[in-house]
Amino acid sequence: MKKTLFNSRDPFFRNPTGAVPDGKSIHFKVCLPRYLCCSAVTLRIHNEHTGEQETGNLFWCGQENDFEYWEVDYTPTRSALRYYYFELQTSSGTKFLGRTRAGFGELQSQPVAWQLTVYENTFKTPDWLSGGIMYQIFPDRFNKSGDNHDDIPYGRRIHENWNEQPDWRPNEQGVITNSDYFGGDLKGITQKLEYIKSLGVSCIYLNPIFEAHENHRYNTANYRKIDPLLGTEEDYIELCQKAEKLGIRIILDGVFSHTGDDSIYFNKKNRYDSLGAYNSKESPYYSWYKFYQWPDNYHSWWGIGSLPEVNEDDPAVLEYHNGENGTVAQWLKKGAGGWRLDVADELPDIFLDRLRYAAKNADPDAVIIGEVWEDASNKVAYSQRRRYLLGKQLDSVMNYPFKDVILGFLTGWSGDEAIEVVNNILENYPPQVVRLLMNSLGTHDTERAITILAGEPAHNRGRDWQSQAHLSPEQRETGIRMMKLATVLQYTLPGVPCIYYGDEAGVEGYKDPFNRATYPWGSENKSLINWYKKLGQLRNDVDCLAEGTFETVKCLDSVMSFVRRGKRDSLFVAVNRSDCHTHHIDLPEGFNGARTVMGSGSVFDGKVTLHPRCCIILRANNYSMFK
């Protein structure tokens, strides 16, 4: 068997493993072949945020057969992202011990460094979301209370039929206006709180609810006003209060990188009586925007003229949103439990720093979750290394890498390929971030999960094809079965599962706007909803899914399996996504006699049998599992 030279995930070689707080001593040990005749080994560390280089000289500490051990202790003094490798002085010159797959080290001529995330030792994240379940709602499409609303802005078309398809065709000028609405509102959400609670939900994430003149409301017109079609500020307060009585908190969508051109801030269409930046250089909002040549030539979000980009580091912008009485604090004080930040990677550090201060000052338990699609611990945005997760900005992020893992595995990735992505995230993220990761299978920005799992891939097909493409009865049956496998992984991997409204009911759909269809009240898939409820009950019953450890068992080919261990309970989770092969897995330590709580896999003679497209969750009580 090949000797392990170093493994960043093994406490024998690096203790502690994973992200660490500043001031925490880390013990490094490497195992080197004696034939190298090493005379010196140096730990070389690069600080990504300051550019500083640090070194540590390892000392020889013993030998075993043809190998010898070298060790050193290193204590990072400040939070920062660091990268490290080992430099070896040998009888044949300088060599390097660098990173290869799964945290292992190998001898290299050019070193590949390991990542070391060092966060603030005072970094804390809210306890209330750990172990919970989130539910994402696109407000216009979830539920319509039937109440009449006053002062509806002009230019909106309301669908008479709740169940018809959203508009997808451009107007006569070839423009997609997003001006069709179904009339879902805040009171409609309040009416369905008992249903949402039945899924085990502890947090509702609302897509934007502030006044805006497209149905997605990401083109904010007024941050200080609820969109009239959704209701009033009183309706918002009532929703927050009634949700809280059920143990559910509301988090809002903060769209701070841009506004709508049809807003009180820009006012290009003269909808508002006040002066917007487009109307006058004397506008109080003029400094919010970058004009190349006022008024028609301005910087816009991704070149979309209807979304003028905001100068987020402008003092007026910072005060408006992050001041003592700014947007962030205002809505927290009126009932919200936190914020999800749209395109967080486009918000500068000063804005995120100030936002965290404003949120925590208004409510120390407020949660701040950023939209970052990649590994957020080492994200580079606009040529700048970001520090989202080091303790002074975000509490956690939308965990798109885990979405890719789950859907990728179920559509063809091998188990070892999938689990490597999981373990990389767990190694790079602080544990207090991991426990709050927002684990979605789909969002308003992606195709519906059931469509990805069972439908024909859209590839580059346009809206006309997407509008006509639906799952056949056979595809739908497959999709429901695959969704059950997907949710087993979603609910048991580290983090917080987030249900995109309607996924639990079997809603399908390709890209925007087809992924934003209305909730199918009265025609839900009851089998799938009951599956979600069972998973919700399981999360509420065990402690290991809140703060428990994560251990890989067998992840190969079409199988993923792992163990979550907590103080009271442990779960063994295994999924076989193959449509034709049966797999057998040895029971992990401590699971003899464990009971099956979900799935159709079977246990016999110390082995789990997983038939095609089958899963199993075993539960063991830690007080008796090792007797």
Give the catalytic positions in this structure: 342, 371
Phi, psi of 408 (to 5 degrees): -65, -45
Take residue 79 and report the two structure tokens written for it: 């939070």
Residue 171: count other Cβ atoms within 10 Å of its Cβ: 10
Q: Is 137 helix (H, G, I), strand (E, B) or coil?
A: strand
Residue pointed to by tokens 């169940």: 163
Torsion, Cα 354 230 136 516, to 10 degrees, reads -120
Take residue 352 and report the two structure tokens written for it: 């995120």
Torsion, Cα 30 33 34 38, to 10 degrees, reads -60
378 DSSP β-pair partners: none
Residue among 323, 222, 218 nearest 263 (CA): 222
Task: Say if CB 147 and CB 188 are below 8 A apart.
Answer: no
Specify the DSSP class assigned to residue 303: G
613 DSSP β-pair partners: none
Q: At what angle do helices 400-410 and 473-492 cross, to 10 degrees?
A: 130
* Distance of alpha carbon 383 from alpha carbon 345, whole angstroms: 11
Task: Say if CB 430 and CB 387 are below 8 A apart.
Answer: no
Residue among 434, 436, 440, 410 nearest 422 (CA): 434
* Distance of alpha carbon 363 from alpha carbon 332, whole angstroms: 7
